[in-house]
């Protein structure tokens, strides 16, 4: 009984631990929120592309629009470095390599704009290009 209760408690605590890792500095919160939006909508498109969720052209189009908006919002959200935030994953190279960083944000927006939401096949092709732009930026600018 006790072991089962402990296991249940651990399951409840796991998401709390994940939340505790969120940044506390306002600038870091703002940029993390933009990236969360990017992540959320990429996941929606990716799961549809993989057939994990049923293809839904309207939902795909909505996720694409949200992704484009988040990509467009990224440069402004990252512009001010702000105070050091211990859990922020943003590398200081963002602000020393600002032009390259914003060019990579533009690559993300352009890739998102290019996603064909008319079919699951279109999504699969678009997601391949899109995920390349995530990696290109994260490998240089994210801890």
In the complex, the smallest distance separating the C-beta of residue 50 from ligand HEC, rounded to whole angstroms, is 14
In the complex, the smallest distance separating the C-beta of residue 38 from ligand HEC, rounded to whole angstroms, is 5
Give the DSSP letter string of the chain. -HHHHHHHHHHHHHHHHHHHTS--SHHHHHHHHHHHHHHHHHHHHHHHHTTSS---HHHHHHHHHHHHHHHHHHHHHHH---S--TT--B-THHHHSHHHHHHHHHHHHHHHHT--TTSHHHHHHHHHHHHHHHHHHHHHHB-
Would you tell me which residues interact with ligand HEC (CB under 6 A)?
Answer: 28, 31-32, 35-36, 38-39, 42, 74, 88-90, 94, 101, 104-105, 108, 130, 133-134, 137-138, 141-142
Q: How many CA atoms lie within 13 A of 80 on its CB side?
A: 8
Angle at 130 between CA 125 and CA 132, to 5 degrees: 105
Residue 63 or 134 having the CB closest to ligand HEC: 134
In the complex, the smallest distance separating the C-beta of residue 19 from ligand HEC, rounded to whole angstroms, is 10
Residue 57 or 136 having the CB closest to ligand HEC: 136
Residue 6 or 24 having the CB closest to ligand HEC: 24
Residue 4 or 139 having the CB closest to ligand HEC: 139
72 is in an annotated binding site: no
In the complex, the smallest distance separating the C-beta of residue 123 from ligand HEC, rounded to whole angstroms, is 13
Residue numbers in the known binding site for heme c are 134, 137-138
């Amino acid at each position: 009984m006790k072991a089962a209760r402990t296991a249940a408690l651990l399951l409840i605590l796991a998401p709390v631990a994940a939340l505790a890792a969120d940044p506390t500095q306002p600038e870091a919160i703002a940029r993390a929120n933009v990236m969360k939006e990017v992540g959320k909508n990429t996941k929606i498109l990716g799961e549809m592309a993989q057939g994990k969720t049923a293809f839904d052209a309207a939902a795909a189009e909505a996720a694409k629009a949200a992704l484009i908006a988040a990509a467009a919002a990224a440069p402004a959200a990252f512009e001010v470095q702000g105070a050091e935030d211990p859990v922020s994953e943003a590398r200081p190279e963002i602000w020393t390599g600002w032009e390259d960083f914003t060019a990579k944000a533009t690559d993300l927006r352009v890739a998102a704009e290019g996603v064909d939401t008319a079919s699951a096949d279109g999504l699969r092709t678009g997601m391949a290009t899109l995920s390349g732009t995530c990696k290109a930026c994260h490998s240089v600018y994210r801890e």
